[in-house]
Chain A
Amino acid sequence: MTGRPDVPPLVAISRIRNAQRIVAVEEEGERAGLRRGQSLSDARALAPDLDSFDHDAEADMALLTSVAIWCDRYTPLVAIDQPSDAIAGGCGGLFLDISGCVHLYGGEQAMLGDVTARLRGAGFAAQAAIADTAGAAWAAARYGDRRIVEPGDQPAALGGLPLAALRLDPDCIDMLGKLGLRTIGCIADLPRAPLAARFGAQLLRRLDQALGREEEVIQPRLPAAELASEKIFAEPVALQEDIERTIGLLAANLQPLMDARQVGARRLELRLFRVDGKVAAIEVRSAGPVHTPDRIQMLFRERIAGFHEDLDAGFGFDLIRLNVLESQERSVRQGDLVAGAHAHEAFDSLVDRLGARLGVDRVLRLAAADAHIPERSFGLVSAAGDHPDSSGFAAAAEAPCVITRPLLLFDRPELVEAIAEAPDGPPVRFRWRRAVYRIVRSEGPERIGAQWWLEGRGGRSRDYYRVEDDEGHRFWIFRHGLFGRETAHPKWYMHGLFA
């Protein structure tokens, strides 16, 4: 926060070690002598007109995450360096693994300039540095005067930096300071064993990480996409037609790559980087592996059309990226060679279109489940998932003697008020949805036991009756619980409608 010269300095405070202490301070405040970790009363002595507000760690983290999402434009591997009180200067930051991405921006210097200029443009006081280890970059960005540390140059570049640049515990730094060890150079060449014995292994590990003697792996926020293609626009695009055309272009870029690997995409993601830093992500799934640009374009067109509100383009998108998140093997060009492969293409495409527009969880197929409780005996699973060869239903070869299962089933049985003979007679009449039904014929009971291995002792059996009322409507209703044995007042439920 800068550019508020006429108003009193602003600090964020939080309760740390039994005192209100400053967590963050703006630039003007630093000039007045305020610093992080200072107690609020000390700060008020320095600047009596100080303005303070409570620190909101969650909001900080959310902001950092949104910047991390924005940084996806530079590299798919972005890790968040969590703010931590256990580290001196641990106010949070981002690690970007830019291996192999630099040439896209014309060199490290240009890329660094681009990142900092854009972040400053967005109002962040950002500092960045490039080094070949995460630790060295961390140190250089916060304390260094060289923004780019050449490979192998860490000892020279970091030697003069304070020990706080090593991501250490403040107490450890204090202890080292008392011994007169204030810079990284001071401890870099000290005998290792006594150092480790006195200050713990963490000090040496951090030192080695900073100097490039030990590997450090960053943990990217998202796994890198299998394949990705992107387009940067000099002039932001906002029109839906332009976006669709771009999707076609990107998909065409991906096609040879997918062909070479003999895969097709099952899950695709489109990332739209808005000029003002907001990133929109649209994900689609397909029923089978897709690789042709027009199929991919169609999927996204339906997905965008299915949005209830328009895609908010704001001032336009300046970078659009298409990621293949999940792929599946396919035999190359099978559709062109084998006539039989065409057979289900129209159906697959229909499933894709419906799934893209309505959401994949709304396009379902029936699958048998291994349970005898009626509502658990089948499941509705997404049709876009993997297709097993059979859905698990036994083929109805022979017509049954009696139809014992209804055509329509309520997934939650509905409570009815029924009059029935105790202890186990069929219902005589019942009231369901505010209407009374007089039962003329009934068959049953068919007893379906509870899943005691899941529900335990409390599970109740159900006695199912097929009943018909005086107008010919047929229902499947059950008594929940055996009279006397499982419950004193069994309740009745409506569970299905027969034809």
Chain B
Amino acid sequence: MRRDQAKQTIGILRDAVAGIDRRHAGVGGAAWTDGSADGGASFGFPPLDDVFEGGFPAHALHEIRCPLTRDIGAATGFLAAMLVACLKDRQGPVVWIADPAARLESGEIFPAGLSMFGVDPSRLLVIHPAELKSALWASDEAAGCHDLAAVIFHMRGNPGLCDMTATRRLMMKARDSRVFACILRQAGEEEASAVATRWRVQARPSLADAIFEGGIGPLRLDLALERNRHGRTGQWAIAWNHRSRRFEQVPTHYVDRPALPFDRPHGAPQTGQVVALDRAS
């Protein structure tokens, strides 16, 4: 027990020293040396990857939050995208810990949807703890297991139990056991924690589908990097291309109707004729 505490203290001090070093070396640049140790994972989307100089640190604790519960779908989508980036060259199971309060509001993870996103559902170990305390304990245990590829802790709001100390412990365990750890926080406020990055995700109205006009286009998100321990923060409007499984830029000025495709024949013309109607009165 005492050894654990000592280990933690050393970890905290090490973090502090690293922080001082970084400040002296200036933000960014050469200070970001242990990128390989953190297992950089790339989104494959230059604007996002540039913030991390190549890839975000996969072996660390991250947080994805959405201010409103109705955005949890979008937040889960961004998490799935991060998982796709992390699991690309990593074996091992993914532990998904769902706090009962969060599960009640947002439902269960759906394997069919997950595999369409590109995450193999058979890799998932789903934990349903009875209360937040055991959920936190379970994520702590899981983050310390080096056989895993990722640990997801899905929670609701800003419970006091998951404070600076708890997140710091998770962060250190994830770094030591080289696991991608992520807090998925629904209906949560911004709060001080030890996470490496914190993202705020909101849904964004989509464009019409290129093929089916009345249909729904690819997933689009308003993404904000609120906190980044190792670099810049930023805001992006991005779209998820589920065919290439990568993010794409959303044009800032877009027309609602896409231009007709140049590599395909024109679609059938609409039947009938558009006429101007007379005023009713």
Interface residues of A (CB under 8 A from B): 306, 343-347, 349-351, 353-354, 357-359, 362-366, 368, 374, 377-378, 380, 383, 390-391, 393-396, 399-401, 403-411, 435, 440-443, 466, 468, 470-475, 496-499
Contacts and interface: CB of A to CB of B under 8 A. Distances in A.
Contact of A473 (B74, B106, B120, B146): B74
A44 B97 CA distance: 68
Contacts, number: 191
Contacts of A378: 110-112, 121
B125 A358 contact: no
A408 B147 contact: no
Given A395-B120, A408-B108, A443-B215, A499 B127 contact: no
Given A409-B113, A443-B216, A366 B121 contact: yes
A256 B126 CA distance: 35
A120 B226 CA distance: 73
Contacts of A443: 209, 212, 214-216
B243 A401 contact: yes
Given A408-B73, A408-B109, A499-B80, A403 B120 contact: no
A143 B261 CA distance: 101
B73 A498 contact: yes
Contacts of B112: 374, 377-378, 405
Given A403-B116, A496-B110, A499-B76, 14 more contacts: A345-B147, A346-B147, A363-B125, A364-B126, A377-B112, A378-B110, A380-B128, A406-B113, A407-B77, A407-B110, A408-B76, A435-B70, A443-B212, A468-B216
A347 B76 contact: no
Nearest to A426: B214
B245 interface: yes
B242 A400 contact: yes
A397 to B, nearest CB: 10
Contact of A408 (B72, B126, B214): B72
A358 B129 CA distance: 6
7 contacts: A346-B147, A354-B138, A395-B120, A396-B120, A400-B116, A404-B116, A442-B214
Contact of A406 (B73, B118, B134): B73
B146 A362 contact: no
Nearest to A413: B107
B54 interface: no
Contacts of B245: 399
B121 A391 contact: yes
Interface residues of B, number: 62
Contacts of B114: 407
B236 interface: no
A399 B242 contact: yes
A360 to B, nearest CB: 11
Contacts of A475: 73
A236 to B, nearest CB: 27
Interface string B191-229: 000000000001111101100101110011000000000
Nearest to A411: B108
Contacts of B76: 407-408, 497, 499
A357 B142 CA distance: 13
Given A405-B116, A442-B214, A366 B111 contact: yes
A466 B206 CA distance: 13
Contacts of A435: 70
Nearest to A409: B110
A343 B95 CA distance: 17
B233 to A, nearest CB: 22
A481 B86 CA distance: 42
Given A358-B130, A362-B130, A496-B113, A351 B244 contact: no
Given A400-B242, A407-B113, A472 B127 contact: no
A475 B114 CA distance: 15
A358 B73 contact: no
A366 B204 CA distance: 30
A445 to B, nearest CB: 13
Name the residue among A306, A396, A443, A499 with the largest chain B CB count within 10 angstroms.
A499
Contact of B146 (A346, A358, A365, A470): A346
B247 interface: no
A57 B219 CA distance: 67
A396 to B, nearest CB: 4
> What 8 pairs across the A-B complex have the smallest Cβ distances?
A499-B77, A497-B73, A472-B203, A391-B122, A409-B110, A347-B147, A410-B107, A405-B113
A363 B95 CA distance: 10
A346 B205 CA distance: 44
A349 B142 CA distance: 10
B116 to A, nearest CB: 5
Contacts of B108: 380, 408-411
B45 interface: no
B203 to A, nearest CB: 4
B70 A473 contact: yes
